Structures are given as structure tokens and as C-alpha cells.
Amino acid sequence: MTAPDTAPPAAADTAPDTAPDIALDVRDLRAGYDASDVLEGICLQVARDERVGLFGPNGHGKSTLLNTISRVIRPRAGRVAFMGEEIGQLPAQTIVARGLVHVPQANRLFPDMQILETLELSAYTPRARAAKDETLDRVLQLFPRLAERRRQACKTLSGGERQMLSIGVGLMSAPRMLMLDEPTLGLSPKLKDELAEAIAAISATGIPLLLVEQDIAFTLSLVDRMYLIDHGAISREVGRSGGVDHQEIMEMYFGTGEGA
Ligand SMILES: Nc1ncnc2c1ncn2[C@@H]1O[C@H](COP(=O)(O)OP(=O)(O)OP(=O)(O)O)[C@@H](O)[C@H]1O
Ligand SMILES: [Mg+2]
């Protein structure tokens, strides 16, 4: 039961206080499971021309944050604006249709479906359908391994190939911004290099990026700026002007700069 006075005000679907160059604006976001909050009031921004990393220990809320932004999990408080519009109350499929695309940590693929079918079916929003053939060509160009195996069933793919297909699935939604959760999980160094190249190429087309990743070298090769998440809150931010400094990251993560 919702009391009338708890309904959001009419202006809540716009976010007038978000600067025009900001793609994603998260303010005081709280979310969690059952009785406890995992996210303790997260604030972060990603500009329209930016690649931002989110780094932090296991279990501190990185995936919960992406899941809350993409509305897999309902936020308990706070605001999320995408391209200047409030999206915190919208259903997940509407957020995808607006172009905010989340590639989850363990993407579920249909085991018996072929790569090609999987990609084609992933272009289901009106914007994505309109660009389907073009996007498919681009995905197969970005990931030649997927092109070679296009008739293969998903269940026969290696872990690395699955990760690439998951990103391909995200791209088929015609993203205006991508959020990737641990895309290198289980990849060999060679595949990581291939993936970094593909992600850089995607981002070079003007798609802002929020990258959750434990591989610090991989992250540093891609991002302009990083946040550290600690117990469900942003504890530090580095690299706002210029590139991200490796030493700074070590200090941020290990506290001394002599970590490892
Ligand atoms: N579906 C769920 N139900 C209950 N608790 C959950 C659920 N998913 C995650 N959690 C808990 O929320 C906390 C944050 O988990 P989350 O997956 O967001 O962490 P993470 O930073 O992404 O970790 P990792 O680096 O291991 O992927 C953890 O304590 C986790 O056990
Ligand atoms: Mg995670």
C-alpha cells in the first residue's frame, strides 16, 4: 500500500541538477538484501566521454551497485540519473531500452542456443532492433573468435569465449553507456589483451564505461579515473585530471603504496 503523500513529485523523472556532460549520476544510493544494507549511500558520476573504474575487495558491494543501477535490485534510497533523466524508479527493461546496459558478472546464456541466435535475440529493444544488422557485424568484427564459432552452441564455448559473448550480448542492446562487471574473470593474459582492445574500441565510439574489475593492470589500461569501494561506500577517488597513477592506486588499495 502506497500512501498518496509518498508518491514522487511530478518533477522526479528529470534530474535538473545533473550537469549536461554527465552520463550517469548516482546520489546517496542505498540498497541491500533482507534486513541489511550493502550499499551505504553511494555517490558517483561518469561523464559522457569517460571511462571509470570501480575497484574494491570481494563482497564489498560492487556487483550490488551495478545491479541496483540497472534495477535488478530495488534501491532503498537515493537517486540514479542517466543522460539527465531520473531512472531510479524505472523497471530494468526500460533502463536497457534507454541505453544503459549492464553486462553482469556471470551472464546467463542459453546453453543450446547458437552464438549467432543468441546475439540476434539480444537486440530486442526498438532502438536495438533498428540497428541490428549493423551491430551484429560490428560485434563479430570486434570478437573474431565469436565469428569463427557463430554456429556453435553456447554450452560448447570456453570461459573466455563466454565472457566475450556476454559483452557481445550487451552491445546488441545498442548501449549509450556500458557497465561491465568483472569481464576478465578466468581469462588468460592473451584473451585479456584481446578483450582490453575490444573494450577500448567500443569506448572510442563514444560509449562511456563503468568498469568493475579486480585486475588492476587491465583496469589501468582502460580507465581515466577510479573509485574505490569499501564496505558499501566510496572511500576514495583517483585520477580526475589526467590518467590514473599506478602508485596512487597501490596506496588507495593497500594503504602504503608498497602493497602486494
Ligand atoms: N542475492 C543476495 N542475497 C543476499 N546477500 C547477497 C546477495 N548478493 C550479494 N549478497 C551479499 O552482499 C554483499 C556484497 O556482494 P557483492 O556481490 O555486491 O560484492 P562484490 O563487491 O561484487 O564482490 P566480488 O568481488 O566477490 O564480486 C556480500 O556480503 C554478499 O554476500
Ligand atoms: Mg561482484
Residue pLDDT, tens place only, 126-155: 999 999 999 999 999 999 999 999 999 999
- The second-level CATH assignment, the architecture, of 23-106+175-249 is 3-Layer(aba) Sandwich (3.40)
Q: How far is the CA of 260 from the centre of ligand 2 (A)?
A: 21
Q: How far is the CA of 151 from the centre of ligand 2 (A)?
A: 31
User: Which candidate, 52, 63, 25, places its Cα nearest to that of 199?
Assistant: 52
Q: Which residues contact 179 (CB under 8 A, 6 or more apart)?
A: 66, 69, 70, 100, 101, 102, 103, 209, 210, 211, 212
Nearest CA to ligand 1 atom 13: 59
Neighbouring-strand partners of residue 136: none
pLDDT for the residue 121: 95
Q: What is the DSSP letter of 152?
A: S
pLDDT for the residue 216: 86
| Residue 232 CA, closest ligand 1 atom number | 14
Nearest CA to ligand 1 atom 1: 33
Q: How far is the CA of 60 from the centre of ligand 1 (A)?
A: 7
Ranges of residues in the chain with a pLDDT under 50 are 1-12, 257-260
**Do residues 208 and 47 make contact, with C-beta atoms less than 8 angstroms apart?**
yes
